[in-house]
Structure 1
Amino acid sequence: MTISPTLRVDAMESGAFDAAAFQALRDGGVDCATVTCGFWDDAIEAMDSIARWRDLVAANDQLVAIARNGKDIREITASGRTALLLGFQNTSAMQGRIRFVELFAELGVRVFQLTYNTQNDVGSSCYEGIDAGLTRYGREIVGELNRNGILVDLSHVGEQTCLDAIEASAHPVAVTHANAASLCAHPRNVSDRVIKSLAERGGVIGCALYPNLTGPDYAATLDDWCRMVVHTAGIAGIEHVGIGSDLGGTTDEQSLRWMREGRWTRQANFGAASASNPGDDDPEWFRSMEPFAALSEGLCRQGLDESEAAAVMGGNWMRLYDEVMA
């Protein structure tokens, strides 16, 4: 396994970005981040989002640039900027059209999550009571994502659909932003079975910083969270664990409702939160991306050596990106 020891990668961020948020990425030493371009978007809305992201990046090109593969990431970071990978947390943008995968790839999208918080025509989400697994269309989508150099993301995806997608994919896949359910029991987290299956095929799980997914035992301090990451490495193997904060940009109340409810419900929905704890709070010790580089020190305090910490901080993601992305 080849590790890129100098690159720090956050495999999934969400929220609205501006110059200040991009500067926080730079200040935190984040060399590459996957940004969320959409959750429930149809094709036109998705293209609008990509166009807005291009404008935003062009206006801040001294801080960030869009990458399509590992080579781009290295060139962008060498220029002193943060590389951004464009990602969607749903396949709704395809609108059932298999050929749209190639079109979105040509527009620069490099990460597609199969489902968000409801079942779709690809497979089941983690919140459904019954998971029938990957559909026939879903298998074709996975094949097209493979062919076009797009990473298959299994965050928010149901157990059987995850297992089916791991088996169906010709390339390693990822859970970009979730934690082990055996460490924090939550529907959004993933089982040891999924983590081990993913790792056996060369995939990576990105440990999330979002407190509802870490639970009180691992959310209180940086060292507590790093202890969770080390425990996750005990399940997956150190070469299959990275970081996917699920934080990053800012989120107002209207955006939060859209993320959680989309167009599919008339009722209040709280996503990974709950009616008793409806907020979208960051950890007290991680209010923006500035402390990102310090995660490495915390990992070493929990027993990882410098090479292992570098793998978690970004080396494992870079290995995966080099293998998957065209």
Structure 2
Amino acid sequence: MPLQLKRRQLIKALAAGGLLSQLGPLPALASGNKRLYVDGLSFLPDDLADLKSSNIDAYLCDISDIEAIQQLDGTTNYKRTYRACMKSITEALDRVNANPEQLLLGQTGSDIRKARESQRTAVFFQIQGADCVEGSIDNGLVQVDEFHAKGLRALQLTHHYGNKFSGGALDNADLETGGQQGLNKPLTTAGKQLINKLNEKRILIDVSHSSPQSALDTARASSAPIVQSHGAVRTIVNHARCSPDEVIRAIADTGGLFGVFMMSFWLTNDKIPTTEHYIAQLKHVAKVGGIESVAIANDYPLRGQKNLLKLNNNNAEGVKQYLDWWHSLRAKKVLGYEVEPSHVVIPELNHIDRMNRIDNALAAAGFAANERDKIMGENWQRVLTQVLG
């Protein structure tokens, strides 16, 4: 039997009655029994009251920051450098430690349970791009150790564009070749060494924003489950930022999961985005990877996309802030940018109460209670427990 199939069967067994049953039943809250809610990506809120209002028990928390880097051609690139991210993770850790009544630093999977029992929110620090690992392979990638000591528990290999470790989703070849082969750059030798280091440190590997080939290579190279914390399905929207089925399947075969996010222009090309479009994405991931691979992600603040909230979720106005960037990538012939976006958010989900609303929409769509348990949080709990300990 192929190794990947064995891994998937093992994960199904663990989900069905092994690992999760060992963890015991989820604790009841003072307000009664509540389904576990875990989100694939958000940020520390300006107002910590948002934590309770969101009803989220735990989430991957992007604490990275960027630095403007002047390029030789005179343009500016923005990278998550070591200096910027070390400063931002230190500030985030200080804020978590200063608010122990509301926040719990997620370091192992069991911290989800601890947070739930104490009615706090567990935050698992994540950085969206391995550009922050600037040291050489020869020195053992010591910067990974430094970030881990500060609480880093999930590292995304790249953000949009490739780096020395991984190809990026929006990488492109020169225009003379039509710009397609650059979209599928493989994992590099340095990338494979980084994966070994992350496995050793028990840091979750995130292939969001990676090229399809790099994601496939990562699934083969990692000895632990990997995730795409936030993304969408290319079968539904044919776009470079969306993942083909083979990537979804490969992630699932590691025992990992695929989180569907809230950026509606990558969820549907229909003019009016709805919750049904979001549910269709979740259904497709379940069909391809199995129900154990499906998860929820945000990629906006807990309250929602700030500018759209100011505009009362007026997508026609809100989308304008993305058009210059969109057109620049259309000029480079990057896949999918030939379709003009007409929206940014699903209005009913661009809301602090989105997790409850998704849960209810899943029920209306015919998902069983145990399937909703997995999608809304148990899949994340399982993966974080297996990878982080």
**TM-score (normalised: structure 2):** 0.73
Question: Which one of 128, 135, 142 corresponds to residue 99 of structure 1?
Answer: 142
Q: 1:190 to 1:96 in 2, by over 3 A?
A: farther
- Specify which structure has the bigger relative contact order, considering alpha-carbon pairs within 8 angstroms and separated by 6 or more residues: 1
Measured after TM superposition, the shift of residue 57 of structure 1 is: 2.4
Alignment gaps of 5+ in structure 2? 1-13, 27-34, 67-78, 173-181, 308-321
Within the alignment, does 1:176 sit opposite 2:194 as a pair?
A: no
2:61 is matched with 35
Measured after TM superposition, the shift of residue 286 of structure 1 is: 2.0
Q: Look up the SS of the partner of 1:176 in the other structure.
A: strand
Residues 240-279 of structure 1, C-alpha deviation per residue, up to 9 Å, x if partnerless?
A: 1111121225667xxxxxxx9xxxx9x9679999799689
2:45 is matched with 17
Q: Look up the SS of the partner of 1:174 in the other structure.
A: strand
1:152 is matched with 205
Measured after TM superposition, the shift of residue 77 of structure 1 is: 1.8
Distance 1:272 1:73 in 2: 38
Q: Look up the SS of the partner of 1:134 in the other structure.
A: coil
The residue identity in structure 1 corresponding to 2:56 is V
2:105 is matched with 66
The residue identity in structure 2 corresponding to 1:282 is V
Distance 1:218 1:306 in 2: 32
Distance 1:313 1:218 in 2: 27
The residue identity in structure 1 corresponding to 2:363 is C
Question: Which one of 125, 128, 131 corresponds to residue 168 of structure 2?
Answer: 125
User: Identity across aligned pairs (percent)?
Assistant: 25
Q: Look up the SS of the partner of 1:115 in the other structure.
A: coil
Structure 1, 152-161 or 43-52: larger mean CA deviation: 43-52
Distance 1:92 1:279 in 2: 32
Measured after TM superposition, the shift of residue 179 of structure 1 is: 1.2
Within the alignment, does 1:26 sit opposite 2:65 as a pair?
A: no
Once the two structures are superposed, the pairs formed by residues 199-214 of structure 1 within 5 Å of their partners are 199-214=252-267
Q: Is the 8 A contact 1:176 1:244 kept in 2?
A: yes
Once the two structures are superposed, the pairs formed by residues 112-261 of structure 1 within 5 Å of their partners are 112-129=155-172, 130=182, 131-217=184-270, 220-249=273-302
What is the alpha-carbon root mean square deviation over aligned residues?
A: 2.9
Question: Which one of 291, 298, 301 corresponds to residue 354 of structure 2?
Answer: 291
Distance 2:203 2:364 in 1: 35
Q: Look up the SS of the partner of 1:292 in the other structure.
A: helix
Distance 1:155 1:218 in 2: 26
Distance 2:151 2:271 in 1: 35
Within the alignment, does 1:317 sit opposite 2:380 as a pair?
A: yes
Q: 1:303 to 1:177 in 2, by over 3 A?
A: same
Distance 1:186 1:219 in 2: 18
Q: Is the 8 A contact 1:223 1:301 kept in 2?
A: no
Point out the structure with max Rg over C-alpha: 2
Structure 1, 33-42 or 77-86: larger mean CA deviation: 33-42
Structure 1, 287-296 or 105-114: larger mean CA deviation: 287-296
Measured after TM superposition, the shift of residue 29 of structure 1 is: 1.3
1:306 is matched with 369
Q: Is the 8 A contact 1:24 1:288 kept in 2?
A: no
The residue identity in structure 2 corresponding to 1:162 is A
Q: Look up the SS of the partner of 1:7 in the other structure.
A: coil
Distance 1:304 1:231 in 2: 13
Distance 2:294 2:341 in 1: 29
Q: Is the 8 A contact 1:65 1:82 kept in 2?
A: yes
Distance 1:312 1:57 in 2: 27
Distance 2:51 2:187 in 1: 36
1:88 is matched with 127
1:255 is matched with none
The residue identity in structure 2 corresponding to 1:9 is V
1:57 is matched with 96
Q: Is the 8 A contact 1:112 1:153 kept in 2?
A: yes
Structure 1, 212-221 or 46-55: larger mean CA deviation: 212-221
Number of equivalences: 312
Measured after TM superposition, the shift of residue 143 of structure 1 is: 0.7
Q: Look up the SS of the partner of 2:40 in the other structure.
A: strand
